[in-house]
Amino acid sequence: MDWSVLMFLHMIGTLAVGFYLVLPFILGRTEKLSAAAREGTLSAVSGFNRFAQYGLVIQLLTGGYMMTKGEYSVPWMIIVSLLLLAMFALGGIMSRPLRLAASGMKQSRDVSGETGKIRTLSALLAVCLLIMVFFMVFDEII
């Protein structure tokens, strides 16, 4: 496969996953919204989370192929792979509290526990993504 096509697909996946960088800021503003607006925001976040998960699949496939063809150190490949797996896990774990919070808001019950989990998971996702970008840019460090 042509490297430019592969790199283009990898960058498309990066753009999709970039949602995780802005997610903590979006969620930080939801407490000031009305109940209907919070419900809509959580519904949108749930859809964007699914979209970002597809981006992670693209990252896995294209990045995995590029790792096999490049000259990267084994520790670098392990760190990057573990970060990608952590992002998969955190994004998947976050989908349940998102679903529970959206249904709880429809039933007018307190969803502060779920929204707290969502905020924590989104912060962890943003940190993982920032660390991943650091290792992508400075791949010669390790």
pLDDT tens-digit readout, 54-105 = 999 999 999 999 999 888 999 999 999 999 999 999 999 999 999 999 899 8
Is the separation of the CB atoms in 44 and 29 below 8 Å?
no
pLDDT number for residue 140: 85
CB-based burial, 9-27: b 16+ in 10 Å, e otherwise:
bbeebbebbebbeebbeeb
Residue type, 90: L
Residue 141 host element (H or E): none
Q: Helices 112-137 and 19-28, interaxial angle, to 10°? A: 150
Residues of the chain with pLDDT > 90, as a percent, come to: 75
What is the model's pLDDT at position 115? 92
DSSP conformation class of 59:
H
49/34: higher pLDDT: 49
pLDDT at 1: 65
**Quick one: tokens of 25?**
């800021």
pLDDT value at position 30? 86
Q: Is the pTM of this model over 0.85?
A: yes
The size of the chain, in residues, is 142
